[in-house]
A and B are shown apart, each in its own frame.
Chain A
Amino acid sequence: METKQAESELSVIKKIMEDSRRINIDNGIHYIFWGILVTVALLINYIMILTKTSMNYIGLMWLILMVTGMFIDIFIGRNQERKSRVKTFTGKLLGSLWFATSISMFMFGFVGSVLKAYNPVFICPIISTVLGISYFTSGAIQQLKWLQNISLGWWAGAVILFIFPSVHTLLIFGIMMICFQIIPGIILYKKSNEETVVSEL
């Protein structure tokens, strides 16, 4: 084999591997699904507080919605995996990241508050901080700077919610969910659809 041929082979391999790394694996469905579900739960929670419903019922409402959401999400995930044309290591990494995030949120949202480790009003800023970490990492893994920058929104929101704790924390967190979770999810979904159309042309 000649040197030029070897160089050419290496550059082809390098190009293919670089292109493969750019394959979009996140179609935003999970962001949209959880964004809507949590926003709805926050609104219900807000109304329940205004109507002075017992904390036990609020906890139960969260537990029912989150567990139902988890089962629906597993179903969506399995369906997507079965239909996906490609499985990437990046996808696996993202899956692990969001799984770990869910466990952490469960710890802070349920375990910590049930054990009265802190005032429940601080659940939102704590979850917001966790989401900041996950968005920052997720954006870095996918090499999406804009997604990484969303974490700044989560962290800034967490600071505000830590400084001004009130019943309106739930509404502010709901707005943050729409801005930093649902909208990025829609952007990822549109981007993923555009890429699918291009690859099918």
Chain B
Amino acid sequence: MNFDYQEIDDVIHSRIRTSIMALLVSLEEAEFNFIKEKVNATDGNLSVHLKKLEEAGYVSVKKLFVDRKPVSKYKVSNKGYKAFENYIKQLESIVKKNN
């Protein structure tokens, strides 16, 4: 049985973006390189997906310098938490409907 695709949040619905969101909702804040290691992505790929989440208002970024090196720290916004919660509910309802 399939689910209405229109109800699924396209911004989160991608393996890498789901992983980023799952990681960030469990943490308060994480550095770019930390996310990269945890989700096994390349710099370019991760940047694109983080940008997409940022544009949707799901994550916010804080840029700073640590020991003269630029560092980007990401965290989930309130809107992001709600969207992720809804996404989980949608996945659970798909599973429930078919069991």
- Taking Cβ atoms with an 8 Å cutoff, the residues of A that contact B are 1-3, 6-7, 9-10, 12-13, 16-17, 19-21, 23, 82-83, 85-89, 91-92, 199
Contacts and interface: CB of A to CB of B under 8 A. Distances in A.
Interface string B1-37: 1110100100001010011001101111111011001
A77 to B, nearest CB: 15
B22 A199 contact: no
B38 interface: yes
Interface of A is mostly: helix
Contacts of A83: 66-67
Contacts of A92: 28
B22 A12 contact: yes
A86 B27 contact: yes
B98 interface: yes
A86 B66 contact: no
Given A6-B91, A16-B26, A17-B25, 16 more contacts: A1-B8, A1-B91, A2-B2, A6-B3, A6-B92, A7-B95, A10-B88, A10-B95, A17-B26, A19-B38, A82-B64, A83-B66, A85-B31, A86-B29, A86-B31, A87-B27
Contact of B94 (A1, A13, A16, A85): A1
Given A86-B27, A89-B28, A17 B95 contact: no
Contacts of B37: 199
Interface string B54-87: 0000000000101100000100000000000000
A85 B30 contact: yes
A20 B23 contact: yes
